[in-house]
Chains A and B, each alone.
Chain A
Amino acid sequence: SQQGEEDPQALSIQEGENATMNCSYKTSINNLQWYRQNSGRGLVHLILIRSNEREKHSGRLRVTLDTSKKSSSLLITASRAADTASYFCATDGTGRRALTFGSGTRLQVQP
């Protein structure tokens, strides 16, 4: 089964609003990463948060990590139509050989 599971599966908001996506995972991790995928394209790395970090910012992105609850959230502030994409969390699990991806959140930002 997937290590990371995103919630919600789909999200539709208006331009200018904030978008929050959540990710839960099952085992211990070295880090957790968020990726964006535009339609028909590959995944693009957004941000990496290490297991000893609780919050990280990058531009309009804010990621939190709660290792006690095995969960993470991605906040996109002041969303734009160009933020329309699927967003995936991926865990770098302790002892694992590769990243484990969740099934993603489809974000639609209405102009």
Chain B
Amino acid sequence: DAGITQSPRHKVTETGTPVTLRCHQTENHRYMYWYRQDPGHGLRLIHYSYGVKDTDKGEVSDGYSVSRSKTEDFLLTLESATSSQTSVYFCAISDREIGSNQPQHFGDGTRLSIL
């Protein structure tokens, strides 16, 4: 299995509080992704990174920000959590960009509940 660690694995918090999720990889892959998984929607891309300090928005980026100060760490922040952000969050990595016929490798997810 690819060395991807997501933390925390579970979190319960209240509306309006800031939340930061961490993705740590030991594969030295350049590309990292944050997805959320909700029933009936599959996985939807929130943000992705194509290198240190290089990030871009995905299709559901509103309310989220990311940072990547080191190759191995990709942080997802909810500045002021809302109940609609209750979801399971997955980090994925890849050593090649999209279009290079390479798969992505996923962490085991963070289950986030916002009350």
Chain A contact residues, CB within 8 Å of chain B? 2, 4, 30-31, 33, 35, 40-45, 48, 50, 88, 90, 92, 94, 96-104
Additional A-B contact list (19), CB under 8 Å, known A98-B48, A98-B58, A104-B42: A2-B42, A30-B99, A30-B101, A40-B108, A43-B104, A43-B106, A45-B103, A48-B102, A50-B101, A90-B43, A92-B101, A94-B99, A96-B98, A97-B45, A97-B98, A99-B104, A101-B43, A103-B40, A103-B41
Question: Does B74 sit within 8 A of A, measured CB to CB?
Answer: no
Known: A97-B48, A97-B56, A97-B58. A43 touches B43 (CB 8 A): yes
Query: Which B-chain residue is minimally distant from A41 (CB atoms)?
Result: B108
Instruction: List A contacts of B107 (CB < 8 A).
Output: 42
Give min CB distance, B114 to chain A, whole Å.
20
User: How many Å lie between the Cα of A104 and that of B101 in the bound state?
Assistant: 21
Q: A92 to B98, Cβ gap below 8 A?
A: yes
User: How many Å lie between the Cα of A43 and that of B94 in the bound state?
Assistant: 13
Give min CB distance, A27 to chain B, whole Å.
14
Bits for B35-64, please: 1 = Cβ < 8 Å to A, else 0: 100001111110010000000101000000
Q: A101 to B109, Cβ gap below 8 A?
A: no
Query: Which B-chain residue is minimally distant from A47 (CB atoms)?
Result: B103
From B42, B44, B99, contact of A92 by CB (8 A): B99
